[in-house]
């Protein structure tokens, strides 16, 4: 049984290392208590140190909800807001990371500090070099196999580079009619597994359809293009940054198909269940967080789909060939059919939901 809101346990090493300069006395907390934390992650040290003046920004729904459950203030930062201290846990993808550093420097107050931490094995050296390119010489320490580095108070910012890097986060065309943005899953290409599922979608899918783990919306655009009897389409995606390109892609797909389809995007953790019932569900479910394989995440998607399908509903699923989903599918569906196995992937249709 997969618990609601299932997600991988978050390693705390980077979060713990981030606060080392305060423990050592090299940095002091702002007198006004205001701190902006970009890509914040819940953890013991954060809960211990955070104060009411902190604002945590986190676009991945399960992590945002974990922060909220710990009583932390989670939200978006206003364009004109400035903070004396900006904390950053940078992502691995470099364009996304550069855009995040630019955002941090956009929101730091005059005389303020931007502080970041990156595990050594995840590109700490290049990340430090990028922040240095924006804000000049940095201070740094190593701890817990991580590199912690920060700007000098009031460091002059290379505004031209900052503005150039801010633009890196904007949706960009990656294929004719498709836009995406750096850091999303398969952000700069059409994922091979999703393309395989799209090729095998039956044209008799109808009514209200959901796409679970929709990313930037490629699979949903294919539902629109290939399934003329679909009248409504809901995209569910846990990564908030995917929703803008998904909306853009779906708007074009609907315009191109020449018929009316009710389309909605939802920032949602699928493992917590779905709020509506569906005639069909399509999914290329995630099976990892970071570098850790988590087949239970895919199993949770299957469970959520089974709970949300109407009695006549059908699930169309693509997965890596090695993933052990068959037992879960057999528990939840009366009919499980392997449509094809090729190129390391398997396409499965499941129907006859077991209640």
236/228 Cα distance (integer angstroms): 21
pLDDT tens, position by position, 38-71: 999 999 999 999 999 999 999 999 999 999 999 9
Q: With respect to residue 206, please indicate whether it lies within any of the assigned structural domains.
A: yes
Is 214 found in the same domain as 305?
yes
Long-range contacts of the stretch 304-308 (C-beta < 8 A, 24+) = 304/212, 304/270, 304/271, 304/272, 304/273, 304/274, 305/210, 305/212, 305/274, 305/281, 306/332, 306/333, 306/350, 306/353, 306/354, 307/273, 307/274, 308/210, 308/273, 308/274, 308/276, 308/277, 308/278, 308/281
Q: Which residue has the tokens 């900006």?
A: 86
Q: Which tokens is 198 given?
A: 């799209």
As a whole number of angstroms, the longest Cα–Cα distance in the chain is: 66
**Boundary of a domain, candidates 168, 186, 203:** 168
Q: With respect to residue 198, please indicate whether it lies within any of the assigned structural domains.
A: yes
What's the predicted TM-score (pTM) here? 0.93
pLDDT tens, position by position, 105-135: 999 999 999 999 999 999 999 999 999 999 9
Q: Identify the domain containing residue 106 by its residue range.
A: 13-168
Q: With respect to residue 7, please indicate whether it lies within any of the assigned structural domains.
A: no
**Boundary of a domain, candidates 151, 168, 185:** 168
Q: With respect to residue 224, please indicate whether it lies within any of the assigned structural domains.
A: yes
Is 326 found in the same domain as 180?
yes
Yes or no: say if 349 and 315 are a contact pair by the CB < 8 Å rule. Answer: yes
Q: With respect to residue 155, please indicate whether it lies within any of the assigned structural domains.
A: yes
pLDDT tens, position by position, 65-105: 999 999 999 999 999 999 999 999 999 999 999 999 999 99
User: Domain holding 241: CATH number?
Assistant: 3.40.50.150
Pairing of strands 278-283, 206-212: parallel
Pairing of strands 54-57, 35-38: parallel
294/291 Cα distance (integer angstroms): 9
In the three-class reduction of DSSP (H, G, I as helix; E, B as strand; rest coil), residue 202 is classed as coil
More confident residue, 1 or 199: 199
**Boundary of a domain, candidates 108, 135, 168:** 168
The pair phi, psi for residue 196, each rounded to 5°, is -65, -45
Q: How high is the mean pLDDT of the chain? A: 93
Yes or no: say if 271 and 299 are a contact pair by the CB < 8 Å rule. Answer: no
Is 53 found in the same domain as 19?
yes
Is 274 found in the same domain as 152?
no
DSSP label at 126? Answer: H
Is 300 found in the same domain as 179?
yes
Q: With respect to residue 102, please indicate whether it lies within any of the assigned structural domains.
A: yes
Is 218 found in the same domain as 94?
no
Is 320 found in the same domain as 299?
yes
Q: Which tokens is 107 given?
A: 């929101």
Is 162 found in the same domain as 186?
no
Q: With respect to residue 53, please indicate whether it lies within any of the assigned structural domains.
A: yes
pLDDT at 293: 55
Quickly state the pLDDT bin for 294 (edges 50, 70, 90): confident
pLDDT at 155: 85
pLDDT at 253 over 60: yes
Would you report the helix, strand and coil content of the chain in percent, each value rounded to 5?
A: 35, 30, 35
Is 188 found in the same domain as 125?
no
Mean pLDDT of 281-296: 74
Is 54 found in the same domain as 117?
yes
Based on the structure, what is the number of domains in the chain?
Answer: 2
Yes or no: say if 57 and 38 are a contact pair by the CB < 8 Å rule. Answer: yes
pLDDT at 289: 53
Q: With respect to residue 26, please indicate whether it lies within any of the assigned structural domains.
A: yes
Is 263 found in the same domain as 186?
yes
6-41 as b/e, with b when 16 or more CB fall inside 10 Å?
bbeebebebbbbbbbbeeeeebeebeeebbbbbbbb
Pairing of strands 172-175, 178-180: antiparallel
Is 115 found in the same domain as 192?
no
Angle between helices 192-200 and 218-226 (to 10 degrees): 20
């Amino acid at each position: 049984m997969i618990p609601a809101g299932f997600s991988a346990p978050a390693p705390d090493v980077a979060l713990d290392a981030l606060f080392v300069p305060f423990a050592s006395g090299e940095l002091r907390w702002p007198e006004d208590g205001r701190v902006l934390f970009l890509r914040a992650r819940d953890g013991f040290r954060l809960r211990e140190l955070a104060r009411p003046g902190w604002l945590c920004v986190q676009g991945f729904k399960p992590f945002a909800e974990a922060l909220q459950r710990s009583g932390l203030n989670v939200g978006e930062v206003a364009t004109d807001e400035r903070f004396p201290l900006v904390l950053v846990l940078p992502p691995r993808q470099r364009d996304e990371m550069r855009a995040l550093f630019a955002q941090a420097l956009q929101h730091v107050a005059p005389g303020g500090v931007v502080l970041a931490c990156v595990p050594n094995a995840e590109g700490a050296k290049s990340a430090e070099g990028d922040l240095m390119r924006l804000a000049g010489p940095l201070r740094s320490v190593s701890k817990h196999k991580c590199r912690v580095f920060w700007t000098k108070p009031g460091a002059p910012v290379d505004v031209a580079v900052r503005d150039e890097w801010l633009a890196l986060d904007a949706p960009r065309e990656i294929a004719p009619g498709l836009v995406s943005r750096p850091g999303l899953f398969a952000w700069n290409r059409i994922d091979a597994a999703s393309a395989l599922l799209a090729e095998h979608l039956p044209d008799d899918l109808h009514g209200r359809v959901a796409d679970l783990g929709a990313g930037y919306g490629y699979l949903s655009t294919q539902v629109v293009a290939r399934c003329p009897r679909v009248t409504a389409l809901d995209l569910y995606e846990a990564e908030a940054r995917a929703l803008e390109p998904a909306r853009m892609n779906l708007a074009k797909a609907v315009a191109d198909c020449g018929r009316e389809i009710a389309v909605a995007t939802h920032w949602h953790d699928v493992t917590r269940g779905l709020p509506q019932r569906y005639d069909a569900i399509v999914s290329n479910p995630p099976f990892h967080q970071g570098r850790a394989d988590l087949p239970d995440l895919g199993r949770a998607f299957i469970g959520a789909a089974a709970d949300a399908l109407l009695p006549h509903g059908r699930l169309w699923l693509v997965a890596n060939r090695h993933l052990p989903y068959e037992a879960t599918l057999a528990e939840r569906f009366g009919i499980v059919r392997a449509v094809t196995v090729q190129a390391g992937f398997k396409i499965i249709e499941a129907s006859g939901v077991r209640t």
